């Protein structure tokens, strides 16, 4: 099984992570996750349901990824089930303050759909065109 499975549902990229994220792979994983966003999506769902360990390097990576997506006007949404050890860990380091976390993929998709709709509302300053970020 590939360590990352990428799918797109209703235009929203969803990455299922099937491996630990630690100092060994945080950098490459960040690049792979950022690439999964593509040019037009406004949300990226990272499903950590099958991830057993996430260390400080992995947490830093997700926070930086969130910032990076923010600059591209996209949102990072994590899926961490209630029963996952990562839920406790995320609370310890205050991750929920910085990144949207949902217990199920369905809930994450609902948030992504909402963001998508809001994105489609034309901004008054941009003459009806959808805002994009050329620096991404």
Partner 1 sequence: MLNELLISMGRNRAATLSIFELDPETEELQAVIAGHVPPLLIEPQGNARLLEQAHGLPVGVRSGPSYQACRYPFSTGSRLLLYTDGLIERRDESIDEGLRRLTIAARAAAKHTDSSLADRVYRALLDGTPLEDDVALLAIETVPLENTLEMTFSAHPSVLGGLRSTLGRWLRGAGANANELFDISLSASEAATNAIEHAYGAREATFTVRCEHDDDDVTITVRDLGRWRTTRSRGGGRGLEIMRSLVDSVTVNSDEHGTVVTMIKRLSHQT
Write out the residues near partner 1 by the rule CB under 8 A. Answer: 20, 22-25, 52-53, 55-57, 59-60, 85, 88-89, 92-93
Least separation in angstroms between residue 78's CB and partner 1 is 17
Tally of residues, the chain: 136
CA 67 to chain centre: 11
Report which secondary-structure segment, H or E, holds 1.
none
Minimum CB separation of residue 112 from partner 1 in Å reads: 27
Residue closer to partner 1 (CB basis): 52 or 73: 52
Pair type for strands 12-17 and 4-9: antiparallel
Q: Which is nearer to partner 1, 2 or 118 (CB)?
A: 2
Least gap, CB of 117 to partner 1 (angstroms): 35
24 φ, ψ to 5°? Answer: -75, -30
Residue 57 vs 113, nearer CB to partner 1: 57
Q: Report the SS3 class of residue 104.
A: coil
CB of 97 to partner 1, least distance (A): 14
Q: Which residue has the tokens 């491996």?
A: 19
- Cβ-based nearer residue to partner 1, 54 or 101: 54
Q: Which two tokens stand for residue 110?
A: 């609902």
């Amino acid at each position: 099984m590939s360590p990352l499975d990428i799918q797109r549902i209703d235009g929203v990229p969803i990455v299922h992570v099937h491996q630990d994220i630690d100092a060994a792979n945080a950098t490459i994983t960040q690049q792979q996750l950022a690439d999964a966003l593509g040019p037009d999506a406004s949300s990226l769902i990272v499903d950590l349901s099958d991830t057993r360990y996430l260390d400080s390097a992995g947490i830093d990576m997700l926070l930086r990824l969130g910032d990076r997506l923010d600059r591209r006007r996209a949102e990072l949404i994590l899926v961490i089930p209630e029963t996952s050890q990562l839920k406790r860990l995320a609370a310890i380091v205050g991750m929920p303050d910085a990144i949207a976390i949902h217990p199920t993929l369905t809930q994450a998709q609902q948030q992504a759909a909402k963001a998508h709709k809001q994105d489609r509302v034309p901004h008054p300053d941009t003459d009806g065109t959808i805002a994009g970020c050329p620096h991404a």
